[in-house]
Amino acid sequence: MSEENDSRQIRVATFNVSMEATNYRSDGDEKLNEKALQEQLSSGNNSQIKNIAEIIQRVRPDIILLNEFDYIENTDIGISAFIKNYLNKSQKPDTKSIDYPYVFLAPVNTGEPSPFDFNRDGVANGKGGDAWGYGNYPGQYGMVVLSQFPIDEKKVRTFKHFKWKDMPGALQPKIPESGEHWYSEAQWQAFRLSSKSMWDVPIIWKGEPLHLLAQHPTPPVFDGPENRNGFRNHDEIRLLADYLSGESYIYDDQQSNEPFSGKRFVIAGDLNASVHSKETVPGTMELLFEHSLIDAQFIPTSSGGARNDPSDPLAKQHTAFWKSRADYVLPSKQGLVVVGGGVFWPQPQHRLFRLVKDRKASSDHRLVYLDLVWQQL
């Protein structure tokens, strides 16, 4: 957008790219698995990653959050390799390369070992369901922000270590039959709310900050009647809503409880929640849709999503092949006007359907974007 349009208009996107190392090697050796994504990023030839890059090149967002891009601290073999070897190279004769000179990434809770038996299987092995966020190695299912505008890194706030117990009225999971808390007292005192993290990333646009509020809450499934993942998903999203509301109980990873004071913001991410999902705790997405500061009126759609489930009149809103609206770009009411948007999901007869035909082609999620116009406050 920035290359071809007035600087008062910007395109912001989110894309769960399903780029974790376990997708590229299945030999069972975890240490090798952790390096598998790095090897594919350096090659420039992986078909799935090439398709992801082509989708980004065709949509051309100015700012994009990538979910499920493994956290690799050394950016030269991580996100910078993706930009250099894939995005900076035209993937097809009718696509142009694209560059993102500004990047933000940080550690996440997924796969980071805890000392606890969170999943109550009798073994505290520090990974999978016993990690601070579900994952088999540190950094799995990470996230990263790419921007064509400068990032004010000194003012970035992360909330990886915020403890669930510190949220007033937290939905503490219980075993229905006994009423016993799922997590022991020691576990509850230590438990981190964010399955990955929550980020407030100020991006300087027209000399002022546009706050990208990035999240990827845990899926509200893969648990039992205690609904520990459903409750966690709800409260992760509540943390975002309460942060916008300036609730004083929230503190960041620097132990600052300074309230959010941004004017223009965009929420982006795979939130793993839907008002139409039976797994989502009722009222979860309403925390954002009905928030006084959020403009949730515009709903991105696609004809491909509609074709994926012709029996559902809401299918055009879906952002995942498993027939749900799970991915969101939600702007502030102040300072921004939505002028368009969509979901990249071509119909089966379209020549670009090859990019989304199945999970191996690119991802089980679709890129979602909004076009926003700057409005003077």
In one-letter notation, the amino acid at residue 97 is: S
Q: Which of 133, 191, 195 is nearest to 164 (CA)?
A: 191
**Contact of 215 with 269, CB cutoff 8 Å:** yes
**pLDDT tens profile 37-53:** 999 999 999 999 999 99
Residue 143's identity, in one-letter code, is M
Distances from the Cα of 327 to the Cαs of 205, 344, 367, in angstroms?
24, 12, 8
DSSP at 128: B
286-305: average pLDDT: 98
Predicted local distance difference test score (pLDDT) of residue 34: 75
Q: Is 32 helix (H, G, I), strand (E, B) or coil?
A: helix
What is the pLDDT, as a whole number, of residue 145? 98
> What does the pLDDT read at residue 25?
75
Confidence of residue 35 (pLDDT cuts 50, 70, 90): confident
Q: Are 12 and 20 in contact (CB under 8 A)?
A: no
Cα–Cα distance, 348 to 353 (Å, whole number): 5
Q: Which domains does the chain have, with CATH numbers?
A: 9-374 (3.60.10.10)
Pairing state of beta strands 264-270 and 327-331? antiparallel
Would the pLDDT of 1 be above 70? no
pTM for the predicted model, two decimal places = 0.96
pLDDT at residue 23 in the model? 87
Provide the pLDDT for residue 71: 97
Cα 40 to Cα 35, 255, 301, 307, 315, distances in angstroms: 9, 37, 32, 32, 34
Quick one: CA dihedral 109, 115, 121, 127, positive or negative? positive
pLDDT value, residue 27: 65
At 351, list the tokens.
């020549």
In the predicted structure, residue 26 carries a pLDDT above the cut 80: no
**Better pLDDT: 362 or 1:** 362
Q: Taking 50 as the threshold, does the pLDDT of residue 304 lie above it? A: yes
CA distance 291 to 309: 30
CA distance 194 to 233: 9
**Whole-angstrom Cα distance, residue 206 to residue 162?**
32
The string of pLDDT tens digits covering residues 82-132 is: 999 999 999 999 999 999 999 999 999 999 999 999 999 999 999 999 999
Q: What does the alpha-carbon distance between residue 20 and residue 123 come to, in Å, rounded to a whole number?
A: 25
Would the pLDDT of 31 be above 60? yes
Task: Tell me how far apart the alpha carbons of residues 71 and 56 are, in angstroms, rounded to a whole number.
Answer: 20
**Res. 10 pLDDT band, cuts 50 70 90:** very high
- In the chain, what percentage of residues exceed pLDDT 70? 96
| Per-residue pLDDT at 179 | 96
Task: Look at strands 264-270 and 208-215 and give their pairing.
Answer: parallel
Average pLDDT, the chain: 95
- CA of residue 17 relative to chain centroid, distance: 10
pLDDT exceeding 90 applies to what percent of the chain?
93
Best CA proximity match to 54, nearest among 82, 78, 23? 82
Alpha carbons 78 and 35: distance in angstroms, whole number: 10
- Supply φ then ψ for residue 155, to 5 degrees: -110, 10
pLDDT in tens, 156-193: 999 999 999 999 999 999 999 999 999 999 999 999 99
Q: How far apart are CA 195 and CA 218, in angstroms?
A: 6
pLDDT attached to residue 6: 47
